[in-house]
Each structure stands twice: as structure tokens, then as C-alpha cells.
Structure 1
Amino acid sequence: MIPMKSIMKKVLFSIIAFFCAMSVMFAQKYEPTKENIAARKEFTADRFGVFIHWGTYSMFAQGEWYLSAGLNDKEYSKAADAFYPHRFNADEWVRAIKDAGARYITFTSRHHDSFSMFKTAESDYNIVDATPFKRDVVGELSEACQRQGMNLHLYYSILDWHRADYPVGRTGLRTGRQLQPNYDSYFRFMKNQVKELLTKYGPIRGIWLDGYWDHDNDSVPFDWRMPEFYRYIHSLNPACLIGNNHHISPIEGEDFQMFERDLPGENKAGMSGQDISSLPLEMCQTMNGMWGYKVADQNYKSSAELIKLLVRAAGKGSNLLLNIGPQPNGELPAVALERLKEMGAWMRIYGETIYGTTPSEIGEQEWGTTTQKGNIIFLHVFSAPEKTINFPMKSTILDAFEYKTNKPLAFTQSNDKGVTLLLPSAPKGEDYVITLRIK
């Protein structure tokens, strides 16, 4: 994850990336396999996933970017020798996330500090070889996901603040490492690690890449060789869904489009604003303020806020990937577990209005948003000053009723005035769900 960037830099970077992508597009156009298309449909229907940012950085309790704050890499790396998350229990994690109604997990296999949360032959800087814990977290999480029917995606950082061969970009400039940039060497390292992740850890449905933006200030455009990387990943697992958190329009070979801290079509955080593609969509957001664990950050969003975000994402045809930063001892924070429990209670009642839905012709309105499944439209009314709501609609409504009670609701519909629907009371803050059956 990165801080806000200026619009001008993003526009320039988008142009550069576009022409880099075009240079390979004509050489070999990506055609997703039937298995990949099926995985995309399943992913789109899921609508709700949980992001987990966890590594040795959690020990400092200052978030996942702590190394880049001016710390010396050699001193920072010593924390691995004391990393012993004795309360980590993969089955408990998956159970809590599944009970919340989430249908997939995206886990940080390796973040920008280069520490791998899995056993890798490419570096001894990993949780098995460099810590007293000696357990393969990715392996245990993968097994727990398989036992409980949860899909697993893996976050993988393509930038590195630790390795000497990484061609340094605009971040991680003060870590004190000895630089010997060699992208051929580093690219080979990434391919070998991704091969380990996709061949040794059971079914991995998606790869979530991050760090492409590290070279958006280069005077000479940097060639990440992403299309080549994507072809390699798909050669290992054609069904694997590839996404890249680059904050620009999708590059040839990607299978879903992501938006950081913003819903598609919005840019309040300054990292989105790109055109919305026809690929499956996903927006990621933190449950509190940080991605990795930060002891001072207890500013958790309420369950009502999180449910509203989930509903609004579905209304825009997007998944919500909601982040949690586990504690250094391996436990999910108590407040995060509470929020998951509250979301799960809501999803057990209203999950049908989220899973497998598409945007409706009504779209988002001042009073709330809408989702659709077949000839059924679900109105999610968050707030209405009166006991009525109004919206334009071309399709003919056959009947309207409260989702929870099936109680019929009165409405009028005309070509010029649209629809006026009578509510039993004026919702304020809660999500009052109405079902419309259309012709």
C-alpha cells in the first residue's frame, strides 16, 4: 500500500504503462482459459473477501511500511530471530472469516520488506529458516482453507526494500542496503518464488501483486516485464486470477481490476480514478486505518459502516476485500473479530442480496444503493428523510415487499415521474432492505 500521489504523476505513469503494455499486446494477446473464466465467475459471485497483512513488521506494531521510515535493514531484519507467533491458529482464522460471510482470503505471502511467510528455497529470510517459530504459515493457512472450503489468494510484493538486486525505485531509499541492481536476477527470483507458491500450496485461486508504482517517477520508463510474468503465472496455473495494484488501467494478462481504498468510479483517496474495465472488480479497504498491525490505531470502522461499504461495493459490481492486521502473537485483534461476527450476523440474513448479484438499472441513489439477481432487485435504503423513496426505472415493477418480513409495500410507477415507494418508517443509518420483483 502507498500514500497519496499527485494526479499529474498518475496520468504520466498511465501513459507510459499503456505504451509498454501495447508493445507486447500485438505480439501475444492473452486469451483466458475456460478454467480461468470459471474462476472469474466464482470470484465475482463471492462479493466479500478478507485481506490479511501480517509479517515480522507486526512486531514493531507500526504498520507494514515501518522499514521505509528510515530504519537500517540489517537492524530491522534482526526482529525475525524473535518472531514467535505462538497463538497463530489457521483454523481459527478461517473459521472466524467464514462465519463473517467472506468467501475468500488474500494473505501477504511476502511484503515490501522481503520477508517470506512461507518456506522458500530462494532466500533464508523466511518464517521457517529465520525465526524460532519454524512453521510455514502459508502452508498451514492453505490447509485450513481447504478443510473449510475457503478460497485462498496470495498477495506478493514485486518491489523489495531488502534485496540488493532489486532496481531501487522511489521508496525504501533509506534502508542502508548495498545496491547491486540486476533486474534479470530479481525477476528470476520472483518467478521462482511464485512457482513455489503455485505448485506447493494446493489450490491458489489468485495472485495479488503490489509495488508496480515504485518506478512511476523514473526518468526512463522501467520495464517490469509484467506480460511475461503473467504468461509465466498462467503457464503454472491457467485458472489463477492475476490482479495488480498499480493504480492504472488493466495491463494485458490481468484477470481482475482492483481499486485501493475507493469504490470503482471514486477517487477520494487519490489512488484510483482509472476507467472501469469489463474485468471482475475488487476494492480493498482497511477495517481501521492501517493495513499491518499498528498498536495506536484503534480507529475501527463500525459494523454499520463496513456493511454499508460491502453493500455499496456490490451495488457497483465490485467485491469488497476487507483488511485485518493480525497481532504479533498470531491472533486477530479482538475488535476485528467483533466486527467479523457482526457482519456475519447481517450476512446470514441478507447474504442473498449480496452474493452473486449484479448492479441494477436503478444504481446508487441518495437514499442508498441497489443490487440485482435475475428479475429481483434489492433496494438497500440507508437513510430517507420521509416515509417514501423515489427513483427512475424503466422496467415494470410487479410487486414490492420488505425483504425480512415479506410484508407488501405500496408504490406508484409512471413513465414521467418514475417510482414512489411508501415505507413503514424513515430509515436512519440502518440498512432497510426491500425486494422488487420486475417484469
Structure 2
Amino acid sequence: MTAATTDSHYTPSPEVINSQKEFETDRFGIFIHWGIYSMFARGEWYLNYGPKADEYAKAAKGFYPADFDASAWVSAIKDSGARYICFTTRHHDGFSMFHTAESDYNIVDATPFKRDVLKELSDECRRQNVKLHLYYSHIDWTRDDYPWGRTGRTTGKDSLKADWPHYYAFMNRQLRELLTNYGPIRAVWFDGWWDHDEDKTPFDWELPEQYRMIHELQPACMIGNNHHQTPFEGEDLQIFERDLPGENTAGLSGQAISRLPLETCNTMNGMWGYKIEDTDYKDTRTLIHYLVKTAGMGANLLLNIGPQPNGELPAAALERLKEMGKWMRENGETIYGTSAGPFPAQEWGTCTRKGSRLFVHLLTPKSTDIFLPAKLNIRKATVLADGSKVRFSKNDNGVTLHLDAIPDCIDHIIELEINQPVK
């Protein structure tokens, strides 16, 4: 597959363009990694690390998330200030978390729970006006027809039975179900392209045809693909995994930044799926700083939660959601609907912009004199929290804000009213 950001034949529909604009105002979403892997409490990649697929599949017979409550999930997520949810409909283990006619290996037919959690979640998202995105894996560690990649080689699959056309048709039928039976879906979030990135002959995922089908089924549905490459033709947003755009500390996001809407996904603790001993949750200050830094780059943060096997969101995750929601109610105007600031992130923090308003986010200041490396024609500078005036001076290199003191808080925000343009 050839990456393409220019000279593309794909032209987003007016409906997709509207979705992109709405998506870029949201700035904050919640990722949900949940499946029968939560039963093992070892993370979402557990099947890749030794169990045979037939033994692993037996967990479905005991999967009964009695405490799942779509209303409680969506309410807690909405209260956090997040405006959309991305739900894992089928991860690499091949288990479908929705009622599909394409395989009995799904939450309705294979478990005693017998409920379509995606349908309940979709209905509740519409009731509470929270947008729904759907994660879908291109990989399957259990089906023989999926051609062997570099993962899932110990699960008992028969590599000689690979049948890509058969598997591709299966995926497309499932995608058609997802985009037909669950109401408006604002984005499909693909994963797994990287499973064949070491093939001697480039593997043809036949993405253009798949992307066209999605856009035809739901003209407003955006497509993103976590392939760690510059966006391909037909994609409507760019994904960065565990890193801010332009950074590559995790080794997954070295790709160039495109002009598409941007999203970075990261975890609250260390894992995507539920892992019982992974209690090392990032504190609220760290999570808010990550959200602010992401917005400062003109990107969205998709923050992950791995629900427990009983269907509850972990208590630590709920606590972080509640605390982030409190901060967002007080400071959300500096995040929602903003674009990247006129200069890169600095040692002290970052900046977001909304028209002629700049929000200077002092996250880790070491001085009361804050230098902004941009030529700004400032009409007024005030502390966002109380409206008190802030002194400033200018030189040929930029502007310095002179604060009397900086309180010990998560984010001390200075609002600047400027005359445009900014250099």
C-alpha cells in the first residue's frame, strides 16, 4: 500500500468534512478496550503469548459481565469532558463484541450473557449526545483464513489454510453490519496493518475498496488507521500511538504530520486491556497535562480504559474521569474548539488558540517571567481564573509575560487577546 497525502484521488464528502470539523472541536475522547481477554486479566494481547486459540475461546462460556451498564459508562465518560467513545468491536483475538451473523464467536452467541453490548452502548451514546467511533482489527489470531503475519503464531492456526479473499470478504460483511445496525458511526478506527510490515513482498490489504464501502454506507463516517505511517488515500484522520504528533518516544509514531485531523491515543495506566496487577495509573495532573499538550499541537487525546470482566470501569479510572471532568468544566473553553498555538510547546507548557484569543498554559513554569517566542500584538493579558491583569513586554524575538506569582495548580492559564495575524 502506498502512503499518500498529496496528489490523492480521494476527495472527502461534505459529510466527512463536517465530521472532521466536529471531531477537531471535541479534543477529548475515551478508548474502550474490552473483550474476553479481560477474563484472563492479562491485557488484550494475552492470546499472543502462548495460549492455544481453542483453549482461549472457552473463556467465552464464562463471560458474564453482569455489572455492565451502558448508561453508567456513557454518563461517567461524558462527565469527564470527553465527547466521543471509541469501542473495540473486534480485537486481534477474533472475538466480536457485537452480534454478528458472520461468526458464532461473539458476545451474544458464545456467552451466557446473550446481550449485544455494542447496541446498548450505541443507543446510550445517542441518548446522551456522545459520538461513537468503532475500533476494528484487521488481524485475527484465530481464523485460519487470515494470512499469517508477524504476531499470533503460537495460537494453533493452520498457516496452509490462509485464504485472503475469503477473510477480506468476511471483514467487509462485518463492517457492513457495524455500519448498518448500530446507527450513526462517526469513525472507523482500524488496527493491524503493521502485522505484515516485514513481508518481503508488500502485503495488499485492499484498503481502497474497503474504505469506499465504508464511505458509501455512511457518508459522514471518517476512517483512521493505526498503521504508524503517513496517512493513506481514503483516510480522514491521522493516528499517533502513545506519542504526541511529531514525537516518537514509544517507537510507534515517527511518521510525518499530515494536514488531516490528528489524534493521539494513550493509556491511563500501562495496558490497553484490563490487567489485574496494572494499578500504576497516571495521576490526574499528568493526564490533564497530556490533554493540554495534545490540544496545543492541534490534536485530540483518545484516553484508554480497560473495563473489568464484570463490566465495570475500574474505580481508579472512574476517579480520574471525575477529576478530569471537574477541571474541564472550569477550563474546557481553552481546549474545546481550539487550534494549535502560534509557537511550539515550551519548557513551561504550551498554548492553544481560539480566533483572536490565545490561552497560555503554564504547566511546569520555573520562573514568573514567561517568554513566548512569537511576535504578538497583544491588546489584553489576564489570568483566566480571576480576570486579573498580567503585565507584558515585547522585543524583536517575542513577548515576555511578567507574573507576580504562579500558584501551585495543575495549569495556570493566561488569556491573551491579540490583533491578528500572528508571526
- Asked if Structure 1 and Structure 2 have the same fold, meaning a TM-score greater than 0.5 normalized by the shorter chain, the answer is yes
Residue number among 164, 172, 176 corresponding to 1:191 in the alignment: 172
Contact kept in structure 1, 2:341 and 2:350, CA below 8 Å: no
After the TM superposition, which residues 71-82 of structure 1 pair with which residues of structure 2 at under 5 Å, given as runs?
71-82=51-62
**How many residues align structurally?**
417
Aligned to 2:384: 403
Alignment partner of 1:37 is 2:20 = no
Aligned to 2:208: 227
Aligned to 2:287: 306
After the TM superposition, which residues 47-62 of structure 1 pair with which residues of structure 2 at under 5 Å, given as runs?
47-62=27-42
Whole-angstrom distance in 1 between the partners of 2:212 and 2:133: 18
Contact kept in structure 1, 2:30 and 2:305, CA below 8 Å: yes
Contact kept in structure 2, 1:412 and 1:420, CA below 8 Å: yes
AA aligned to 1:123 is S
| Cα deviation, residue 277, structure 1 | 0.2
AA aligned to 2:259 is S
CA RMSD after TM alignment:
1.3
After the TM superposition, which residues 84-163 of structure 1 pair with which residues of structure 2 at under 5 Å, given as runs?
84-163=64-143
Larger mean CA deviation between 80-89 and 416-425 belongs to 416-425
AA aligned to 1:382 is L
Aligned to 1:164: 144
Q: Secondary structure at the match of 1:379?
A: strand
Whole-angstrom distance in 2 between the partners of 1:374 and 1:82: 54
Whole-angstrom distance in 2 between the partners of 1:412 and 1:249: 41
Residue number among 277, 284, 290 corresponding to 2:258 in the alignment: 277
After the TM superposition, which residues 222-371 of structure 1 pair with which residues of structure 2 at under 5 Å, given as runs?
222-371=203-352
Contact kept in structure 2, 1:382 and 1:428, CA below 8 Å: no
After the TM superposition, which residues 384-423 of structure 1 pair with which residues of structure 2 at under 5 Å, given as runs?
384-414=365-395, 416-423=396-403
Aligned to 1:213: 194
Larger mean CA deviation between 114-123 and 173-182 belongs to 173-182
Contact kept in structure 2, 1:384 and 1:428, CA below 8 Å: no
| Cα deviation, residue 428, structure 1 | 5.4
| Cα deviation, residue 177, structure 1 | 2.2
Larger mean CA deviation between 295-304 and 390-399 belongs to 390-399
| Cα deviation, residue 199, structure 1 | 0.5
For 1:91-113, what per-residue CA distance to the aligned partner results, in whole angstroms no more than 9, with x for missing partners? 00000000000000000000000
Q: Secondary structure at the match of 1:383?
A: coil
TM-score by length of 2: 0.97
Aligned to 1:9: none
| Cα deviation, residue 29, structure 1 | 1.3
Whole-angstrom distance in 1 between the partners of 2:317 and 2:49: 26
Whole-angstrom distance in 2 between the partners of 1:112 and 1:369: 37
| Cα deviation, residue 178, structure 1 | 2.8
Aligned to 1:14: none
TM-score by length of 1: 0.93
For 1:84-136, what per-residue CA distance to the aligned partner results, in whole angstroms no more than 9, with x for missing partners? 00000000000000000000000000000000000000000000000000000
Residue number among 395, 411, 416 corresponding to 1:436 in the alignment: 416
Whole-angstrom distance in 2 between the partners of 1:424 and 1:46: 34
AA aligned to 1:138 is L
Contact kept in structure 2, 1:385 and 1:426, CA below 8 Å: no
Gap regions ≥5 residues in structure 2:
none
Contact kept in structure 2, 1:383 and 1:429, CA below 8 Å: no
AA aligned to 2:145 is D
Whole-angstrom distance in 1 between the partners of 2:398 and 2:83: 37
Contact kept in structure 2, 1:383 and 1:427, CA below 8 Å: no
Q: Secondary structure at the match of 2:151?
A: coil
Q: Secondary structure at the match of 1:194?
A: helix
Whole-angstrom distance in 1 between the partners of 2:377 and 2:287: 32
Q: Secondary structure at the match of 1:331?
A: coil
| Cα deviation, residue 427, structure 1 | 5.0
Larger mean CA deviation between 188-197 and 386-395 belongs to 386-395
| Cα deviation, residue 392, structure 1 | 2.1
Contact kept in structure 2, 1:47 and 1:318, CA below 8 Å: yes
